[in-house]
Amino acid sequence: MAITQSQSVQPASITNVAHGSYIDTGTVAAFTITCGFQPRYVKVVNTNASGDVMIEWFEGMTANYGIKTAIDGTRSMITSLGITVSASGFTVGLDTDLVVTSEQLHWQAIG
């Protein structure tokens, strides 16, 4: 049996947290949020009538991946159109359950 583990602990005084909302009333596309730090965790939520879905990304996951949770609690791993982090923020791919024209998204990033 082999165990592989990775962990990074930051003192509470150094942790970066940002949150906000995003809405696109035109043709929706992937979008980028600049929060000023590299996130270790990102959550994006659509709680509107046609959306009702959440995608989360954790440090160590591949770019464009995410854990998608539907309103009924069904969870799945997506391997495209998910979340990609950068040194100063993150990009949300065009998952059509999450990113919907004129529906407000709420996001949180922790670094």
100-104: average pLDDT: 88
| Largest pairwise CA distance in the chain | 53
In the Cβ-directed half-sphere of 42, how many Cα atoms lie within 13 Å? 31
Residue 40: inside a domain: yes
Domain housing 31 = 16-110
Domain assignment of residue 26, yes or no: yes
Q: What is the pLDDT of residues 41-69, one digit of tens each?
A: 999 999 886 668 999 999 999 999 999 99
Residue 12: its pLDDT value, please? 62
- Count of CB atoms situated within 10 Å of the CB of 78: 18
pTM: 0.86
Tell me which H or E stretch contains 34: strand 31-34
Please state, for a pLDDT cut of 90, what percent of the chain lies above it: 64
Q: Examine residue 11 and state whether it is found in any structural domain, yes or no.
A: no
User: Does residue 101 belong to any structural domain of this protein?
Assistant: yes
| DSSP-assigned letters across all residues of 49-108 | SS--EEEEEETTSPTTEEEEEETT--EEEEEEEEEEEETTEEEE---TTT--TT--EEEE
Q: Cα–Cα distances in Å, from 100 out to 20, 34, 63, 76, 94?
A: 17, 20, 21, 19, 9
Higher local confidence (pLDDT), 57 or 4: 57
pLDDT at res. 51 = 66
| Count of structural domains, the chain | 1
